[in-house]
Amino acid sequence: MTDNIISIQDLIFEYKDEDTGEINRVLNGINLDVHKGEFLAVLGHNGSGKSTLAKHMNAILTPTSGKVFVHGINTSDAAQLFEIRRRVGMVFQNPDNQMVATIVEEDVAFAPENLGIDRDEIRKRVDSALEIVGMTAFKRHAPHMLSGGQKQRVAIAGVLAMKPEVLVMDEPTAMLDPSGRAEIMNTVKKLNREEGMTVVLITHYMDEAVQADRTVVVDNGSIAMQGTPKEIFPQVDKLKELGLDTPQSTYLIYMLNKHGFDFDPAVLDDENCARILLERLKQHNTDLEGVAHD
Amino acid sequence: MIKLENVSYTYMQGGSFEKKALDNVSLEIKSGEFIGIIGHTGSGKSTMIQMLNGLIKPSLGRVIIDGDDLSDKKVKLRDVRFKVGLVMQYPEYQLFEETVLKDICFGPLNMGLPQSEAEDRAKFAANMVGLSESLLDKSPFDLSGGQKRRAAIAGVLAMEPKILILDEPTAGLDPAGRDEILTKIRDMHKRLNLTVLLVSHSMEDVARLADRILVMNSGAVEMFDMPSKVFGKGRRLEEIGLTVPQITKVMDRLRSAGIQIEDGIYTTGDAYRILLPLLTK
């Protein structure tokens, strides 16, 4: 076995339109491995197939042809469904659709209870999961009184309580405000870096994808680009063609380089952008002073 | 033309979950303005926009639209709702008719307009939001996500409101879909001289379009000013759970390192124009 937790091989997924009888191909030969411990972002415009791809990672959907393996288990093997779902936990877009109980800690306990785990162990798991997402103080609250970001953190805790090997998140911040989005991204990064959790984040927010170790861009059911964020985001024109955009910092440097500068194009955030601009501005001023003194 | 005078609103007044959603809000919006509204979840912005077409009545204070006090018994809320079009979050979930055309006609027919005029309006509105005529006979459920969203907006537009309020019209859309909707909203604002109130979590979107930005916090007006002024107060925005566009952060960092540039830069284009001479002079 390699260190691939999920291995996707020549994945094709089609469905039949009930009205027209036409066959629609959503995924068109995807090959992708998810490595143990990595933070992978999957980008793509609406309808690109990225959510369909995510749903193959825990056998919500199974391939029309090709294979998907989770920890070496073929997801098309219906007898193994339980094992697959236990290993790959999913968090979806709408937090309100994911709450099942009337008290936060009961909601988090729902999955491990279904796994038939004994009481003491459930108690431990629930407490630890709530601790990791920073929601311990709310454990006796009613979910509907929480903010969107808090609800999503409870949803993540619910998945963590199953002790999965991979956390797959399908646009978990799409319905949240900026502070809610920041809460989720901080939680995800903490999980990945401190707890070693493998994370697959489906998103169309570029500022989220830049925080990943690796980015895959899905377009028209195929993988159009893949690499580190520093490799992907400077390709401004190509991303635009694929209906995506770039962080503003990257775009500013891209425009300056178009004008003839030679800044390192792999700039993804405000801190680095300001740093390289500042270096150049200071250098430029020193040169000017040098000329003035001569 | 929109005026709020000392408006307060308390949810579940007298109950154990009593919560003040709006606290003594006063403001004025002129006809034809494009207003961006930002504020974290629970800041009172949704309560406020629902007041503007009479869905929620203030506990205290007055809401005045075009000189009509909405709490005045003589003012018909039905008329107010035609004048103030409200596009809710995820409006595509409210599509229900057999065809896109019928769905867009629903509002105008409800206003008592004859079929032919309702259809004319629907076609005009569909064109305004960029839905091609060939889509009008389709079921709304066969449209893509972005198209459904635009069909829902057309349904409100077909009532020919003077004020259009949109709550998070780009939520869940990808960058291309987002750009398309925002461009259409800007076109409507210009061509139809609509007053537009756009509620958004995206500082970049609001920065790009709004004449003025209303910042809500804890049920009160925190700021109400031009984008450059609002985004010049980045630290305060962050304190109240908001943020500034990334480009504003870049320029703020340069300024605090001693580079002489103005504050409140909020578009990449402006940043480029300011930096270019500094780098080449």
Distance set, CA B155 to CA A6, A8, B145, B194 (Å): 45, 43, 16, 15
CA angle B19, B21, B23 (to 5 degrees): 110
Cα(B278)–Cα(B255) distance, rounded to whole angstroms? 13
pLDDT at A47: 84
Cα end-to-end distance, chain B, whole Å: 47
pLDDT at A1: 45
The per-residue pLDDT for range B248-257, each reduced to its tens digit, is 999 999 999 9
pLDDT at A292: 58
β-strands B60-65, B2-11 pairing: antiparallel
B259 in reach of chain A (CB within 8 A): yes
pLDDT at A144: 84
Q: Give the minimum alpha-carbon distance from B187 to chain A in angstroms, rounded to a whole number.
A: 21
DSSP E strands in chain B: the ranges are 2-11, 19-29, 34-38, 60-65, 68-69, 84-87, 163-167, 195-199, 212-217, 220-225
Q: Which CATH superfamily is domain A4-246 in?
A: P-loop containing nucleotide triphosphate hydrolases (3.40.50.300)
Question: Please, which residues bridge with residue A23 across strands?
Answer: A16
pLDDT at A176: 83
Q: Which of the 8 DSSP states describes residue A98? A: G
Share of chain A above pLDDT 70, in %: 98
Cβ-contact A87, A4 below 8 angstroms: no
Low-confidence stretches of chain B (pLDDT beneath 50): none
| Token duo for residue B76 | 């018909």
Question: What is the Cα B123 distance to its own chain's centre?
Answer: 23
The per-residue pLDDT for range B60-69, each reduced to its tens digit, is 999 999 999 9
Tell me the mean pLDDT in the region A137-154. 89
Half-sphere exposure of B3 (CA within 13 A, CB side): 11
- Cβ within 8 Å of B, A 161-200: 171, 174-182
State residue B6 phi and psi, 5-degree precision. 45, 50
Pick the residue with more confidence: A96 or A136? A136
pLDDT value at A138 more than 80: yes
pLDDT at B93: 85
Count of CB atoms situated within 10 Å of the CB of A3: 11
Tell me the mean pLDDT in the region A53-59. 95
Cα(A65)–Cα(A220) distance, rounded to whole angstroms? 17
Weakest mean pLDDT among A39-43, A55-59, B57-61, B91-95: B91-95
Cα(B185)–Cα(B183) distance, rounded to whole angstroms? 5
Average pLDDT, chain A: 91
Share of chain A above pLDDT 90, in %: 74
Most confident listed range (A1-5, A93-97, A178-182, B195-199): B195-199
| Token duo for residue B158 | 């077909």
pLDDT at A293: 59
State residue A11 phi and psi, 5-degree precision. -70, 120
Domain boundaries, chain A: 4-246, 247-294
Residue A175 to residue B171, Cβ atoms within 8 A: yes
B281 in reach of chain A (CB within 8 A): yes
- Single pTM value for the model: 0.85
Tell me the mean pLDDT in the region A128-144. 91
B243: closest chain A residue by CA: A178
Residue A248 to residue B201, Cβ atoms within 8 A: no
Reported ipTM:
0.82
Tell me the mean pLDDT in the region A181-195. 92
pLDDT at B42: 81
Distance set, CA B99 to CA A42, A61, A111, B139, B141 (Å): 34, 31, 41, 4, 9
SS3 B121: helix
pLDDT value at A94 more than 90: no
Residue B250 to residue A284, Cβ atoms within 8 A: no
B257 in reach of chain A (CB within 8 A): yes
